[in-house]
Amino acid sequence: MNSDYTKHNIIKYLSPNQENDIWGMSINSIGFQSIKPQENYPPKGHPMKYTFNTQRGRTVNEFIFVYITKGEGKFQSANCPEKEITKGDAFLLFPEDWHTYQPSKETGWDEYFVTFQGEYAHKLFSQIIRPETPILHIGINEQIVKHFVEMLDCAIAQKAGYQAVLTGIMMHITGLIYSISQSQDFGSESMQKIQEACILMQKNIYEKFTPEDTARSLNMSYSNFRKSFKQHIGIAPHQYMLQLKLVKIKELLGNTEMSIQDIAIKLNFESADYFSYFFRNKTNINPLSYRKEIEKQRSKAKLYAL
């Protein structure tokens, strides 16, 4: 992933293809937007079918799923009277169902969203979510955010079969949100804080952002934050950040042509030598050998597919 999706607004619009009919669901767009306090909403630059005036509202001919991870706002639809929305809430917009929503001017919000359609999508979502109750209180969930980032990666790369992968990830998200909404088991207040911390660390993976910075962002003392983080996640915040960096290194080595030096700089390692030492210490293989091994595996897979 060459861009830090959760630091900058990014939306990927997808063109229909033959895979759509095979899977019974097609993903039309996937995105992330961070709306700052007092900022206009929706931001400019959307295609005509997606932009709208929040006073007049709109209808669309597809499903839209929106997940709010920061801030608060309001939601209203033809079947649902105006409701308050806050971080940890998600809502589903139904095809041809008039709706409007917007963040509060005082807080703004962070939103992940995906638009989709298809016969299977209609069959599934009409059974588990009703237009009268489209808002789901699922709390802050790091795994759901990870899945959205995976979808953005996949949509941008658009490798063969990407619609099948996107559909699979969307089904996984659906299962998670349904389970959480049914059980209302999204953890204690302290667990929600730690989920926010994990998302903050992911958002700032390319920044010089420390565990101490994370604690300050959550208005916690570092000692209490470290203790709570280790209790809920099982490792210290510093070790978690190193794990995130290791995952990101593997993605960049396997999916880009970035040099070792550039990857080291992007992830704020003090030198390429230390970067190589860190990677070898964690994986028992140096970065260049890892990249060659990934390329070899892909070549073999292509041969077997012939």
Pairing of β 63-77 and β 99-103: antiparallel
The residues pairing with 116 across neighbouring beta strands, listed in sequence order, are 27, 63
Give domain status of residue 103, yes or no.
yes
Q: What is the mean pLDDT of residues 251-260?
A: 89
Q: Is the pLDDT of residue 2 over 70?
A: no
At 1 the pLDDT is 37
The rounded percent of the chain whose pLDDT value lies above 70 is: 92
Q: What is the pTM for the complete model shown?
A: 0.78
Give domain status of residue 3, yes or no.
no
Residues 41 and 76: beta-carbon distance below 8 Å: no
Cα–Cα distance list, 196 to 103, 193, 216, 218, 264 (Å): 19, 5, 12, 8, 26
End-to-end, the C-alpha distance of the chain in Å comes to 29
Give the span between the Cα atoms of 152 and 145, in whole angstroms: 11
Q: What is the pLDDT of residues 78-100, one digit of tens each?
A: 999 999 999 999 999 999 999 99
- CATH number of the domain enclosing 50: 2.60.120.280
Structure tokens at 7: 């630091």
At 162 the pLDDT is 87
Domain membership of residue 29 as a residue range: 10-183
Same domain, 22 and 122: yes
The residue among 142, 157, 183 that closes a domain is: 183
Give domain status of residue 159, yes or no.
yes
Q: Hey, which bits of 14-54 come out as E strands?
A: 26-35
Nearest CA-CA partner of 5 in 33, 45, 27, 28: 33
Q: What is the pLDDT of residues 9-25, one digit of tens each?
A: 889 999 766 555 667 88
Give domain status of residue 162, yes or no.
yes
Structure tokens at 194: 């730690």
Same domain, 135 and 64: yes
Which sign, positive or negative, has the C-alpha torsion 160, 163, 165, 166?
A: positive
Tally the domains of the chain. Answer: 2
Q: What is the pLDDT of residues 104-141, one digit of tens each?
A: 999 999 999 999 998 888 888 888 888 999 999 989 98
Chain centre distance of CA 195: 13
Same domain, 215 and 79: no
The residue among 183, 206, 240 that closes a domain is: 183
